Amino acid sequence: MVDLTTLTIAEASRQMASKEFSPVELIQAALERIATLNPQLNAFITVLEDQARAAAKAAEREIMSGQRRGPLHGIPIALKDLCATKGVRTTSGSKILQDYIPLDDATVASRLADAGTILLGKLHMNEFAYGPDGDNVHYGRVRNPWDLERITGGSSSGSGAAVAASLCLGAMGTDTGGSIRIPSALCGIAGLKPTYGRVSRYGITPLSWSLDHAGPMAKTVEDAALLLQAMAGYDAKDPGSAQRPVPDYAAALSGDVRGLRLGIPQEYFFEMIDPEVEGAVHQGIEVMRGLGASVHRVSWPSLRYATLAALIIVLAEASAFHDTWIRTRPQDYQPDVALRLKWGLLLPASAYLKAQRLRALMCREVAQLWRQVDVLVTPATMMAAPHPGETHVQIGNRQMSTREALLRPMRPFNLTGLPAMSVPCGFTSTGLPIGLQIAGKPFDETTVLRVAHAYEQHTDWHRRKPL
């Protein structure tokens, strides 16, 4: 008998629609898998067994009576634990909010619930989303399903581990400097950071208001498209929300990339990179060339400012949000998080303004690139998943901080607000996933998804399973 938890969202949806099994059976299978594997992985902070079972029974009644809401009806998902859920503890991975019970749902949570998804629980994360590794002194370390002695990446660490290990069929993550795409790459799943303003952040604990994005994490590109469909759209409660029409994302998954122009930046992305990762990324590019896409070398000179600009903006904006707590409760933060928040309080306004000018320069330059290409293709990370506590890595003849190796390819697309997605493109010789990043024009998630899906359908990396 097929383990129902190994199905994709699209597969489970079709089989439930044809009544091959019920939401009750699917939820029970997911809860049993969580009970078996979560003690090893530590992907969930809170599991909602009774609530999920009740919701599954309600979904079964609706589907059986012809009231199916759509492809997500009855699908078990989980939310990163900074997404407010009414009546359910929402810790943001912190000690400070360990007992916080929201009175309302975040917009993302309510939209996914309206689409018929069933919430299994709340997922582990870096404290207040401030870190790329998944380490958390308050709730323990999340473990990578491909190698329990490796990190998952963060800050959406629980989301990456839970989807990769089939504890849920899909998850929601957030991304300020790569926090959807890093764990997606390191855990071998599909993760999409939509355009800034495409998905509401109302009810999501902020890290950096001008860089934060919310988006889907799933086993396949098609599943990510289905989740994004439910999540996307204007929300007056989010001041950064964009009033733009939401296309049919799944309909864009044609499998055809003929005539599309892929841009490969000459600078920045390939300057310091693990050879195995570089080789897998170039092979991925050649696959797409073979499918009929053209490949173009492009120049984006201001990328050299990305690390500096992103660091200053995050430091300043995070410290502004945490101003009261870091002054009155510094001992309640993880030490490295407290240190970065204190640094942010010392930044002069002039540094923040200069960083925003550098950001504007990056936006102007990348806007010119869209005259030459339709998407940009890069590595998702400079390396595969490192060991916990591994602060520096040797790449070629150069030493690089692990933090920078994870964040470096991500930051340009948070600074510019562009949609960007990581999909599996290979494995290292030690069996660790490698991610390929595809980024597109503002609000052109359809083309990003189309390219990612076409690549995915002509490779089998996404079919490999851990555990």
Residues in the chain: 467
Q: Is 157 an active-site residue?
A: no
Strands (E) across 286-379 are located at 294-298, 375-379
Question: In the chain, how many H helices and how many E strands?
Answer: 15, 13
Tokens for 218, please give them. 């799933």
3-state secondary structure of 321: helix
Tokens for 6, please give them. 């190994």
Q: Is 80 an active-site residue?
A: yes
CB contact set of 110 (below 8 Å; sequence gap of 6+): none
**Alpha helix (H) residue ranges in 136-215:** 157-164, 181-187
Catalytic residue among 13, 159, 166, 179: 179
3-state secondary structure of 312: helix
Tokens for 452, please give them. 């990612």
Contact (Cβ atoms closer than 8 angstroms) between residue 92 and residue 34: no
Contact (Cβ atoms closer than 8 angstroms) between residue 366 and residue 300: yes
Catalytic residue among 80, 122, 219, 441: 80
Q: Is 354 an active-site residue?
A: no
Contact (Cβ atoms closer than 8 angstroms) between residue 174 and residue 199: no
Catalytic residue among 155, 166, 200, 422: 155
For residues 4 and 79, give the distance between their C-alpha atoms in angstroms, rounded to a whole number: 20
Other beta carbons less than 10 A from residue 94's beta carbon: 25
| Residues with catalytic function | 80, 155, 179
